[in-house]
Amino acid sequence: MAALETVVIVGGSLAGIRCAEALRRQGYDGRLVLVGDEPHRPYDRPPLSKEVLRGERAPEQLALTKPEAFDALRLDLRLGVRAESLDLASRSVRLAGGEALRFDGLVIATGARARALPGAPPLRGIHVLRTLDDALAIRADLEARPRVAVVGAGFIGAEVAASCRARGLDVTLIEALPHPMARVLNREVGLLCAAAHRDAGVDVRLGVGVAALEGGARVERVRLQDGSAVAADLVVVGIGALPETRWLETSGLELHDGVLCDATLCVAPGVVAAGDVARWLHPGYGERIRIEHWTNAVEQADAAAMRLLAGPEHATPFASVPFVWSDQYELKIQATGLIRPDDEMFVGHGSLAERRFVAYFGRKGRLTGALAINRVRPLMATRRMLREGVSFEDAIASAKAAG
């Protein structure tokens, strides 16, 4: 720990601020620099697509750390400034404007950026949602009561559609894949989510992509690949995110859908990563994975801080079980593990028809994950089973015994 006179955290994200807190909590007393490309202090992102869009939360209510606790971290802040490059040889991060920050330890926590719709024209009324400023811009446009089209029915797109319907707006949800969240959910569960949107009055278009966004100065319609058109005064594009690694392209670090880490979140000597940007070797799954959700960012931040301070001789693998959630209308959707669309499924603790159940998923005899809708407690028990490596058969038996 004594060798770390200066630690630089690049990323004013959830992972970035939680790593700063963990470093102080674990005893680091040296210089701690936090670099963030947004002008805001670190804030909570999940409410952006829900309470913020619905007008129920103000920006000042999103802070991740209370002012007095934030001040106690004694951070050397660089907010509203981008990191442009990393030089491992000189142990320095160069910022926009030319400043070079020397470091003894580095935390890469730059998160991800929203994926843009290829070929989208520069029309007013076309938005992505990743940052607080994105959410406030969409919310301002919603005041005019526009016809809304949401492109992409993943978690973000589905939540935006639900929030806009809560405001009484006409909403069309467009998804090129056969059902919402098709990359992680099987057809049965995905179509259940689509039905919930239709029940709420959303025009759901599945299995059809976007051919073009059309209009004059402002967007007026979404032209679909089947030749049909959706009238829209506001379009929110929610087609996923890209890990923010552009500033690392000349660093010599290995980049592939994120910055590659070992099982302990180490990227290079004295360099660790945490949050959406980190692709690490998960010892339980035997493969490199990258998780873009809140719980992972918090847990990785603590582990990355410990890895940085402990050094390689005391390093331990990061083997947390993924956990995600989404709120859409009356549905509280929670999932744990690594679920794939072709996994076997067993439904317990309710039924799909009730929209209240826990679905257990398995692959090659192993429990791989579970998804709950409006059933919290059984899911938490499943997360424990996943940590213990329970078989799919035993998980089903446990669910049947519980009734």
Average pLDDT, rounded, for the chain: 94
Residue 349 has pLDDT above 50, yes or no: yes
What is the structure's pLDDT at 311? 87
Query: pLDDT confidence of 360, banded at 50, 70, 90?
Result: very high
d(C-alpha 349, C-alpha 98), whole Å: 58
Over the stretch 244-297, which tens digit does the pLDDT of each residue have? Answer: 999 999 999 999 999 999 999 999 999 999 999 999 999 988 899 999 999 999
Over the stretch 299-331, which tens digit does the pLDDT of each residue have? Answer: 999 999 999 999 888 899 999 999 999 999 999
What is the structure's pLDDT at 3? 80
% of the chain residues with pLDDT over 90? 87
Comparing CA positions, the residue from 123, 243, 237, 102 lying closest to residue 176 is 237
Contact by Cβ (8 Å): 344, 334: no
Over the stretch 206-246, which tens digit does the pLDDT of each residue have? Answer: 999 999 999 999 999 999 999 999 999 999 999 999 999 99
**Domains detected in the chain:** 6-113+241-314 (3.50.50.60), 116-237 (3.50.50.60), 330-402 (3.30.390.30)
What is the structure's pLDDT at 380? 83
d(C-alpha 359, C-alpha 316), whole Å: 32
* Longest Cα–Cα distance in the chain: 65
Query: pLDDT confidence of 182, banded at 50, 70, 90?
Result: confident
% of the chain residues with pLDDT over 70? 99
Residue 181 has pLDDT above 90, yes or no: no
d(C-alpha 73, C-alpha 83), whole Å: 21
Q: At what angle do helices 187-199 and 155-166 cross, to 10 degrees?
A: 20
Over the stretch 5-30, which tens digit does the pLDDT of each residue have? Answer: 999 999 999 999 999 999 999 999 99
Residue 2 has pLDDT above 50, yes or no: no
Compute the CA torsion angle 262, 265, 271, 273 (nearest 10 deg).
120
d(C-alpha 290, C-alpha 87), whole Å: 24
Comparing CA positions, the residue from 93, 84, 78 lying closest to residue 41 is 78
Who's near 159: CB < 8 A, 6+ residues apart? 49, 50, 326, 327, 328
Over the stretch 40-67, which tens digit does the pLDDT of each residue have? Answer: 999 999 999 999 999 999 999 999 999 9
CB count, 10 Å around CB of 94? 17
d(C-alpha 148, C-alpha 187), whole Å: 26
What is the structure's pLDDT at 403? 64
What is the structure's pLDDT at 1? 41
Question: Which phi-psi region, left, alpha or beta, contains residue 132 (left: φ > 0; alpha: ψ -120 to 50)?
Answer: alpha
